[in-house]
């Protein structure tokens, strides 16, 4: 009988299969550096966020950005020729898991939404002039941007209904529209605006994207909308969501991004990878809440034992650990699929992680908050803010229901109804077929029926 050592050695010699869950050591050391840097340098700043306006925040963040650049981790979502690292989605995903632990970390690493997605749009569809004027300064952190698509009057979950218009005017365009929830709109230097250019075209070819300078005549940032995440009136804070009117805003021909009617096509390129980044960032938040849940369960005593001694809390810990693991693997798999087979091949996986990841985020935070009782509900801990943040995840970048519906439709395409309307697995019919198929073999048995 072979010794245990021999068995282990045999296993180790097995050829590696293509499904590899390891991270290469060089990249792992970058991730380890990031983890320490984010915890030591960025988490403390969170507690001062409400006291800092944009300029104050940037004074605190800029030295950190310099350090990130020195580490060659700046704007990692973009190709090297654009000043990024050219990491694929899997590496980016692993980075975002760390950055997600703090709302400020993406800013320090040059890949905060919406600037990161907007830089992807500019890299993808921008002309050399547009890149020069907007993309490079955006990447350098000298400009800020917003993505202005959703309108209060039409369903954001069905953007083919957009009514904002851009009409040709001489060699340029005139834009009229009303948008809201343009994140960072009140601090942006330019806005990427989605507007209908050809109302008669097929639904997904009606709209185009335009780069509009925030100080262009006719652009009016009416307010920052107070939300569940920031439920107080404020203006010009990082992460606010602006309501904006565009009244007869005249832009030159050079403001059009890509071809006329290509708005949805470009948006797709931006939103799909963006969802992977969101989901990984949510896992970072969930992990932080989970750590708090575990810590609390070890010291809080109630009814004769620590919380960890109660089965309900054990279930919360076990379920949270399993759900986070599932969401993580699903998300990294979607990222891997996008890297290896392209955006369209990963469509279903990306839609699945969007609603699954949002639910895991919510449930883990909810359990951690509950385990802290009144303390969890108070602003002495970050859990209540995480909880409010988590609720938005079910809405932005497409509500849960839209992604579920899309997944169900894609799944159902692989099925057909049975011609005779009898279920394929209907046992009496299968038994009859089996009797005929094996009649000779089972003659003796069936004779005894």
Q: Within 10 A of 11 (CB to CB), how many other CB atoms are there?
A: 8
β-bridge mates for residue 193, sequence order: 148, 210
- Closest contact distance (angstroms) between CB of 393 and ligand FAD is 8
Q: Which of 43, 54, 136, 396 binds ligand FAD (CB under 6 A)?
A: 396
Q: Which of 114, 263, 376, 382 binds ligand FAD (CB under 6 A)?
A: 114
Beta strands in 184-237 (DSSP E): 190-196, 207-213, 219-224
- Residue 111 interacts with ligand FAD (CB under 6 A)? no
Q: Please list every residue from 242 through 281 that binds ligand FAD, using CB under 6 A.
A: none
Which stretch, 46-54, 249-257, 355-363, 400-408, contacts ligand FAD (CB under 6 A)?
400-408
- Distance separating alpha carbons of residues 390 and 229, to the nearest angstrom: 9
H helix intervals, 300-346: 311-341
Q: Which of 32, 53, 401, 432 binds ligand FAD (CB under 6 A)?
A: 401
- Taking alpha carbons only, the member of 120, 91, 78, 83 closest to residue 269 is 120
Size of interface with ligand FAD, in residues (CB under 6 A): 20
| Nearest residue (beta carbon) to ligand FAD | 156
Site string for ligand FAD, 180-219 (x = CB under 6 A): -xxx------------------------------------
- Residue 172 interacts with ligand FAD (CB under 6 A)? no
- Residue 32 interacts with ligand FAD (CB under 6 A)? no
- Distance separating alpha carbons of residues 50 and 402, to the nearest angstrom: 34
- Closest contact distance (angstroms) between CB of 394 and ligand FAD is 7
- Distance separating alpha carbons of residues 401 and 71, to the nearest angstrom: 41
Is the distance from CB of 122 to CB of 270 less than 8 angstroms?
Answer: no
- Residue 83 interacts with ligand FAD (CB under 6 A)? no
- Residue 169 interacts with ligand FAD (CB under 6 A)? no
Which stretch, 7-15, 145-153, 275-283, 290-298, contacts ligand FAD (CB under 6 A)?
145-153
Retrieve residue 51's tokens: 């006291």
Is the distance from CB of 272 to CB of 145 less than 8 angstroms?
Answer: no
Can you count the helices (H) and strands (E) in the chain?
17, 10
Which bin fits 396, alpha (ψ -120 to 50), beta or left (φ > 0)? beta
- Distance separating alpha carbons of residues 202 and 170, to the nearest angstrom: 25
- Residue 236 interacts with ligand FAD (CB under 6 A)? no
- Closest contact distance (angstroms) between CB of 27 and ligand FAD is 30
Which stretch, 45-53, 290-298, 377-385, 389-397, contacts ligand FAD (CB under 6 A)?
389-397
Question: What is the contact surface with ligand FAD in residues (CB under 6 A)?
Answer: 114, 147-150, 155-157, 181-183, 241, 392, 395-396, 398-399, 401-402, 405
């Amino acid at each position: 009988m072979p010794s245990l050592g021999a068995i282990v050695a045999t296993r180790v010699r097995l050829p590696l299969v293509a499904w590899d869950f390891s991270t290469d050591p060089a990249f792992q050391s970058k991730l380890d550096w990031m983890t320490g840097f984010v915890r030591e340098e960025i988490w403390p700043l969170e507690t001062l966020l409400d006291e800092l306006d944009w300029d104050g925040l940037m004074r605190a963040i800029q030295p950190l950005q310099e350090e990130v650049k020195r580490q060659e981790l700046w704007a990692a979502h973009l190709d090297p020729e654009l000043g990024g690292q050219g990491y694929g989605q899997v590496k980016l995903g692993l980075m975002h898991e760390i950055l997600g632990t703090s709302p400020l970390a993406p800013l320090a690493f040059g890949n905060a939404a919406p600037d990161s997605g907007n830089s992807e749009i500019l890299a993808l569809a921008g002309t050399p002039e547009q890149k020069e004027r907007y993309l490079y300064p955006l990447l350098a952190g000298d400009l800020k941007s917003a993505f202005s698509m959703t309108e209060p009057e039409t369903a954001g979950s069905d953007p083919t209904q957009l009514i904002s218009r851009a009409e040709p005017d001489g060699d340029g365009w005139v834009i009229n529209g009303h948008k809201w929830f343009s994140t960072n709109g009140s601090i942006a230097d330019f806005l990427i605006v989605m507007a209908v250019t050809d109302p008669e075209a097929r639904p997904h070819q009606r709209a185009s994207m335009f780069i509009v300078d925030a100080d262009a005549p006719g652009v009016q940032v009416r307010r920052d909308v107070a939300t569940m995440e920031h439920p107080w009136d404020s203006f010009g804070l990082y992460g606010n969501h602006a309501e904006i009117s565009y009244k007869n805003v005249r832009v030159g021909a050079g403001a059009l991004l890509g071809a006329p009617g290509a708005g949805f096509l470009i948006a797709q390129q931006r939103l799909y990878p963006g969802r992977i980044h969101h989901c990984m960032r949510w896992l970072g938040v969930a992990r932080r809440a989970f750590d708090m849940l575990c810590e609390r369960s070890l010291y809080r005593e109630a009814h004769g034992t620590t919380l960890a001694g109660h089965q309900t809390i054990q279930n919360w810990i076990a379920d949270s650990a399993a759900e986070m693991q599932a969401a993580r693997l699903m998300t990294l798999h979607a990222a891997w699929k996008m890297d290896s087979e392209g955006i369209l091949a990963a469509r279903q996986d990306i839609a699945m992680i969007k609603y699954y990841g949002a639910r895991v985020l919510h449930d883990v935070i909810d359990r951690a908050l509950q385990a802290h009782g009144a303390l969890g509900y108070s602003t002495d801990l970050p859990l209540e803010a995480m909880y409010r943040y988590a609720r938005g995840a079910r809405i932005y970048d497409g509500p849960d229901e839209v992604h579920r519906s899309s997944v169900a439709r894609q799944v159902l395409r692989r099925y057909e109804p049975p011609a005779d309307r009898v279920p394929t697995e209907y046992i009496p019919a299968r038994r009859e077929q089996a009797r005929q198929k094996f009649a000779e073999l089972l003659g003796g048995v069936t004779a005894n029926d």
